[in-house]
Chain A
Amino acid sequence: MEVVVLAKWVPVTQEEELKLVRGEKAVDLEEIPFRLNEWDTYAIEEASRILEAHGGTGWVVSLGGEEADTALRRGLAMGLGKGALIETEEELVDPFERAQIFKNFLEKKGIKFDLLLSGVQAEDDQFAATGGILAGLLDLPYATMVMGIEEISEGEVTVLRELEGGFMERVRISLPAVLSVQTGINEPRYVSVTGVLAAAKKEREFLPVDEFSEGRKGRIEILKLEFPPPREGAEIIKGDLDEVVENIFEILKEKGVR
């Protein structure tokens, strides 16, 4: 089994007071901590489990700045065998452009795989598109929202997909295939700091993005970023505890909560 996982190093912005820079076309990420995209953590764990069960080699591939090496090292510490960082300091927001670079990388490096896993989406831009576009560009079968990989047999994989309304869909896909993995598919193993440090000794390649730029074209141009307008309608209930509780109780009753 040969498995490739795409892993993105993303800013953790949930609680930050974000500032816009470069003519309001980008977010200032100077003081923001980064981590491995949560969805990709599940994809790496799934890949590691597949390799443990079936044998073979796993690649973790990232596209980003040099600090994204930590994403590779986490993937390697979790059980994958090889890492490659396609280095660029540019913020590539367009999933088409990212997918084209990954396609060029896989072809140019001659990496033959049975499965390519990505997270369903990245926490930063949340396009949820790179995996699907890459499958299209490679002309490979694709499933997204994968919540379970049930069976891998000769030339086929059976997966469970999460659908709207809480339904699950079981599909059989021929290999090689691209799967976008949903969180909750497994419980990722913890990777210790020592483990990540030790992974620095594992095989990694650092390649300039220019080597894989053929046919690369961004279809998205950011004109301006804006904060959503503050919403109205919130009511701050003041008073002592009993008053507040009484007040909330009345409001809930009024709204028909029983």
Chain B
Amino acid sequence: MEVAIRKEDLFACIQCGKCTGSCPEAGKTPFNVRMMVRKVLFDEWNEEDLLWFCSSCGACTVRCPRDVRPSEVVVGLRAAMVEAGRVPTSLYQALENTLVQKNPWGRSKNKRDEWTAPLDFQIPFIGDGDLHTLLFVCCVQAYDPRCQVIPRNFAKVLHTAGVPFGILGRKEVCCGNEIRRVGEWGLFRELREENSRNFKRYGVERIVALSPHCMNAFRKEYDGVVQDVLHYTQFLWELIREGAIEPKGEYPKRVVYHDPCFLGKQNGVFDEPREILRAIPALELLEFSRSRENSLCCEGGGGRMFIDVEAGERNGERRVKEAEELGAEVIATACPFCLLNLEDAATVLDAAIEVKDITEILMEVL
């Protein structure tokens, strides 16, 4: 899993171009994934800086008919740069921060549970009592003021429904999903070790991840330390289906759902977020022309949240414009990176459109 792609595997590439055809950076940036594979194969790859355009959306890997896994080739090449000490300044800071404070923003690790402060109930520590379902909060939602509302909403729903769960609080550290994708495998291994140790120590049997990026890491890159890993939309849909919670209030708005790459195309969770939205009375669900497997990446993955690159028109803005053309009043999503990028795009464009996490819509109707 952490081994760079072997060059002999790249001989499988038939240069069909499906990778470049689906790449959200192709055309608008000089990064061309098909050319990269070819050049690596012929030892001609010398355009290191282009690698930082990749947002690890995984479209190339999902669509490749020969299982070449181009997005992993990017990770392998980035790893060589990291080991040689050549990383963009903005990424340098994010990596140092993650090493010291266990989150890319460098916020104090002792404040990782500060998002819980406004709640009028206590969320138990996963190690206290007979708790086996862990809410994994993720760095963005633990610290970012815009996103802190998401774990609070989720916790309120579970608290009201009487579902037992716990958190790791200050013991939670970055899942490392993006850290691995920028090529810092050593740091990723450290983070994985620390989280895994805590999962085992506190008897975690089920993880509910708020971010699709964390979910992806636990499912695919943690050696199966916890088998039962869900995204929060899957967990909430379970609760709605069982009747444990019921969206009663009306939400009479036209809502378009944006599939996050790490939830949708990389992990096949397409339906649960939509089912939740469909279960809300009066909500009209719209679809982007590029949805589900073909969803257009918001460019928040693969470390792009921390790396400054000039990547032409932002995909977030393209997304917001398309939502406006569809007549949507709200873009709903279920990933903190997507939320921040789309909301920022809507602000920049001064668009009359709201960007909401699914829990935010749910809180208005429960």
Per-residue CB contact flags for chain A residues 181-203 toward chain B (1 = under 8 Å, else 0) read 00000011111111111000000
CB < 8 Å neighbour of B96 from A16, A35, A78, A195: A35
CB < 8 Å neighbour of B82 from A12, A17, A192: A192
**Which of chain A's residues have a CB closer than 8 A to the CB of B87?**
190
Q: Sample 27 A-B pairs with CB under 8 A, ordered by A number.
A: A15-B107, A15-B108, A16-B108, A16-B110, A31-B110, A32-B110, A33-B101, A33-B109, A35-B96, A78-B85, A188-B92, A189-B86, A190-B85, A190-B86, A190-B92, A192-B83, A192-B85, A192-B184, A192-B186, A193-B99, A193-B184, A193-B187, A193-B190, A194-B185, A195-B85, A195-B186, A197-B186
Decide if B110 touches A35 in the complex (CB within 8 Å): no
| Apart from A17-B110, A192-B82, 9 more pairs, CB < 8 Å | A15-B107, A15-B111, A35-B100, A190-B92, A192-B184, A192-B186, A193-B99, A193-B187, A195-B85
Assembly CA distance A78 to B84 (angstroms)? 10
Is B227 an interface position by the 8 A CB rule? Answer: no
Assembly CA distance A168 to B91 (angstroms)? 30
In residues 29-55 of chain A, which contact B (Cβ within 8 Å)? 31-35
**Which of chain A's residues have a CB closer than 8 A to the CB of B100?**
12, 33-35
**Which of chain A's residues have a CB closer than 8 A to the CB of B185?**
194
Is B95 an interface position by the 8 A CB rule? Answer: yes
Assembly CA distance A33 to B98 (angstroms)? 11
The smallest beta-carbon distance between B31 and chain A, in angstroms, is 21
Contact surface of B with A, Cβ cutoff 8 Å? 82-83, 85-87, 89, 91-92, 95-96, 99-101, 107-111, 184-187, 189-190
**Which of chain B's residues have a CB closer than 8 A to the CB of A33?**
100-101, 109
Between B85, B91, B184, B186, the greatest number of chain A beta carbons within 10 A of the residue's beta carbon is seen for: B85
Decide if B85 touches A191 in the complex (CB within 8 Å): yes
**Which of chain B's residues have a CB closer than 8 A to the CB of A194?**
83, 185-186
Find the B residue at minimum CB distance from A41.
B96
**Which of chain A's residues have a CB closer than 8 A to the CB of B110?**
16-17, 31-32
Query: What are the 6 tightest A-B residue pairs by CB atom distance, in nearest-first order?
Result: A193-B186, A189-B85, A194-B186, A15-B108, A193-B187, A190-B87
**Which of chain B's residues have a CB closer than 8 A to the CB of A16?**
108, 110
The smallest beta-carbon distance between A60 and chain B, in angstroms, is 16
The smallest beta-carbon distance between B93 and chain A, in angstroms, is 10
Assembly CA distance A103 to B255 (angstroms)? 70
Find the B residue at minimum CB distance from A45.
B85
The smallest beta-carbon distance between A48 and chain B, in angstroms, is 10
Provided the pairs A12-B100, A15-B111, A35-B96 are in contact, do residues A192 and B89 lie with their beta carbons within 8 angstroms? Answer: no
Assembly CA distance A191 to B190 (angstroms)? 15
Assembly CA distance A196 to B190 (angstroms)? 12
Assembly CA distance A197 to B96 (angstroms)? 15
**Which of chain B's residues have a CB closer than 8 A to the CB of A195?**
83, 85, 186
Assembly CA distance A192 to B179 (angstroms)? 11
Find the A residue at minimum CB distance from B179.
A193
